Amino acid sequence: MRMRDRWIEDAMEQEIYSLKKKVLAVIIGGAVGDAMGVPYEFKGRDTYTAMGMTGYGTYNQPKGSWSDDTSLTLCTMENYVEGGTLDDLLGKFLCYKENGKWTPYGTCFDMGISTSQALEKYKSGISYKLCGDNGERDNGNGSLMRISPVLFMTIFNKDLQDTIKLIREYSGMTHRHPRAVLGCVIYIVFLMRIYFFEDFGKALDMTVDVCNRIIVDLDLRNEFIYYQRILGKKIAGLERREICSDGYIVNSLEAALWCCVSTNSYQEAVLRAVNLGGDTDTIAFIAGTIAGLKYGIDGIPEEWVEQLARINDIKVLCGEFAKCCYENTKGEKYRSILTTPVP
């Protein structure tokens, strides 16, 4: 093998390894937050104090059990690795609901109303494009909680319009209202900024700038008013009593961002999210993905990671997904170099 080709292949392996570490940080970071929040879901704020990984509680599940947030995220990753369509992905979601696919112990114990309704439409033969409802009351956090893999599917694509289109497709399977789509866009853009710049303050500033410049679809721009505490850069200055931790997508995203920008470690961010009460699993999952990316896989307490159900299965899928994302995007550039004759 020529020295140039060896150098190129070594560079590819290094980039895949780096991408895999970030995938692990986001997905395991989210799953840990999810599992920590499961026992406390729907409990009132300040009626308990979460200090670490525990079990049972709301759903009577063993320690380390994660919910639909993680399950549907893993289904999304697996579908991408397999080259499936979005109709195929809804089929995987249905298999999760009815057969326990990608669950901790073989049984689905939680699924949002909007997602369940979308799956009923799918079962009746309706295309994924029309399964998600788009009414004012269809703005739960059910697409936000599973959208993080899109970060890695598009991380090397410089055209953010393509990313927005993809987010609209993935969200719309279950949540088509532009407010739900916009929340997912803000979240993914923020994760992208963290991926490259790490600093929360800088990432938030850049997210606001990108959203103002890049989002041109009128239906999305009309929803900016609902996210003013984020897009107006007010989120970091809010107090705990001003944070609402329910399942409304605007509130969930605000709560997760607030938990991250007001703390200095993964552990602090996730515990703050769990102790808000309400939709604890989803808010801690979202906060966990953000904090995981910021502080890295090594910043997540090892004890918490080891207590996760099916942790080895999750790690294997993360590796397959990272390689697939790379091969489908940046790998093309390197392959073209490898096949170009040296002058």
Q: Any idea what the CATH number is for the domain that residue 31 is in?
A: 1.10.4080.10
In a domain, 343, yes or no: no
In a domain, 168, yes or no: yes
Looking at residue 135, what DSSP letter applies? S
| Total domain count, the chain | 1
CA dihedral 61, 246, 183, 224 (to 10 degrees): 180
What pLDDT score was predicted for residue 326?
93
Q: Which of 113, 114, 76 shows the shortest CA–CA distance to 95?
A: 76
Predicted confidence pLDDT, tens digits, the chain (343 residues): 555 556 556 667 888 899 999 999 999 999 999 999 999 999 999 999 999 999 999 999 999 999 999 999 999 999 999 999 999 999 999 999 999 999 999 999 989 999 999 999 999 999 999 999 999 888 999 999 999 999 999 998 888 999 999 999 999 999 999 999 999 999 999 999 999 987 898 999 999 999 999 999 999 999 999 999 999 999 999 999 999 999 999 999 999 999 999 999 999 999 999 999 999 999 999 999 999 999 999 999 999 999 999 999 999 999 999 999 999 887 554 444 333 443 4
Whether the Cβ atoms of residue 238 and residue 258 lie closer than 8 Å to each other: yes
Angle between helices 311-328 and 3-37 (to 10 degrees): 140
Task: List the domain range (segments joined by +) for residue 264.
Answer: 3-338
In a domain, 100, yes or no: yes
In a domain, 166, yes or no: yes
What pLDDT score was predicted for residue 337?
37
pTM listed for this prediction: 0.93
In a domain, 315, yes or no: yes
